[in-house]
Structure 1
């Protein structure tokens, strides 16, 4: 994912204070040892290195200090799961095409695209731990994914045919940056697909619903009702209106 909306408190379980004299952990080594491969709900074709209560992610935070952000990459999120399911069910969406997974996190969308026959898959994220997890996840699923440590929303898109966006509309300012970047993608002739569980900051006036899936989002209580996550195509702003955000339409 891109920059987290609410950084953890300094005295919380993901403390950013670096332990004196502590050597930096190798993210891949830590993830391989402490985050076991687990199946993904709705995606039996894919397994991810997934955190559990005994994974000890707090150790990464204590050792790496400011280098460790919120570990969004350690869990599957509903929007990415829905978009990955859509791609696997409709491989023609990506087959023979170049695909970018923006704010890739665990890489679930990138992995699905590679499995479905994309000729090139790039996964971009601002978190080096995300890219470490993503590389391991790609290896575990037998696919090749190129990784890029960068916030692409500040510039022009790379030369790809399709961009997948899972779970990036969770904060207003981030949603505006992502929407502006996706407009530049459209101007370059790049198709854009979005997976999201109907969060408040989706640019709803720009979206066309393609599919919906019943899938719980990470962080929901175990006894909560299963939510719905949707896949949308992103289209041009034909009326020139400012972005409009709001609750899900009935």
Structure 2
């Protein structure tokens, strides 16, 4: 799938290999959803990941010197921001192997390294992970378990509808530029949250 190295709208110090802003997620699959092949979420920079990246770059003390895991990494934008902000080790994982590969390629384009093997993380970053009624409960379970083990959990969420707000404290909000073909809007107000 052809992509172009482009600056991230909310974090222009990071560039990613992305699809054109005139293309939507399911345009890349011929307009169909196939359960045997995930849609290429990694070919776009989602609002939650952008917000986390901006937050980490503006607050490097959040990750500096720490082991960080970008869970459900997509394009790897939050992982790359963590590496740029001085994290000791950054892992970027995703259910889709193509996303993990994209995150490594995007990291290399930004002269940082991300691994696909988390090392007992001290911080978990999760952008746009509460997007469906089937995914949200599993993500909540994973993040709550990490939090019980004293892992700092930061989530970027643009109000997807399945976000368990009662478990989180809002840190800040950003107005994030997004492709209209992807979100049916040109910006999404996106909150960075810390799990209680």
Structure 1 gap segments, 5+ residues each: 1-29, 149-156, 236-250
Three-state SS of the structure 2 residue aligned to 1:48 is strand
Show the counterpart of 2:40.
Answer: 71
Three-state SS of the structure 2 residue aligned to 1:123 is strand
Show the counterpart of 2:147.
Answer: 186
Matched, 1:103 2:72: yes
Equivalent pairs, count = 188
Task: Normalising by structure 1, report the TM-score.
Answer: 0.70
More deviation in 76-85 or 139-148? Answer: 139-148
Choose 1 or 2 for highest CA Rg: 1
Moved over 6 A (4+): none
Instruction: Note closer, same or farther for the CA distance 1:180–1:66 as it changes in structure 2 (3 Å cut).
Output: closer
Show the counterpart of 1:227.
Answer: 188
CA drift of 1:42 comes to 1.1
Q: What is the CA–CA distance in structure 2 between the aligned matches of 1:165 and 1:67, rounded to whole Å?
A: 24
Residue pairs, 1:185-204, within 5 angstroms: 185-204=146-165
Show the counterpart of 2:18.
Answer: 50
Show the counterpart of 2:84.
Answer: 115
Q: What is the CA–CA distance in structure 1 between the aligned matches of 2:72 and 2:142, rounded to whole Å?
A: 12
**Post-superposition CA distance 1:75-113 (Å, at most 9, x none):** 000001001100000000000000000000100000000
CA drift of 1:68 comes to 3.3
Show the counterpart of 2:53.
Answer: 84
CA drift of 1:225 comes to 5.3
CA drift of 1:67 comes to 6.0
**Post-superposition CA distance 1:163-217 (Å, at most 9, x none):** 0010000112211111111111012110100001022111111111101001134
Q: What is the CA–CA distance in structure 1 between the aligned matches of 2:172 and 2:91, rounded to whole Å?
A: 24
Task: Normalising by structure 2, report the TM-score.
Answer: 0.88
Show the counterpart of 2:124.
Answer: 163
2:99 pairs with 126, 130, 134, which one? Answer: 130
Contact preservation (8 Å) 2:123, 2:151 = yes
Q: What is the CA–CA distance in structure 2 between the aligned matches of 1:169 and 1:217, rounded to whole Å?
A: 18
Matched, 1:37 2:37: no
Q: What is the CA–CA distance in structure 1 between the aligned matches of 2:112 and 2:54, rounded to whole Å?
A: 16
Instruction: Note closer, same or farther for the CA distance 1:57–1:201 as it changes in structure 2 (3 Å cut).
Output: closer
Q: What is the CA–CA distance in structure 2 between the aligned matches of 1:210 and 1:58, rounded to whole Å?
A: 36
Q: What is the CA–CA distance in structure 1 between the aligned matches of 2:83 and 2:186, rounded to whole Å?
A: 32
**Post-superposition CA distance 1:100-143 (Å, at most 9, x none):** 00000100000000000000001110111112211110000000
Q: What is the CA–CA distance in structure 2 between the aligned matches of 1:121 and 1:36, rounded to whole Å?
A: 24
1:213 pairs with 142, 154, 174, which one? Answer: 174
Contact preservation (8 Å) 1:197, 1:217 = no
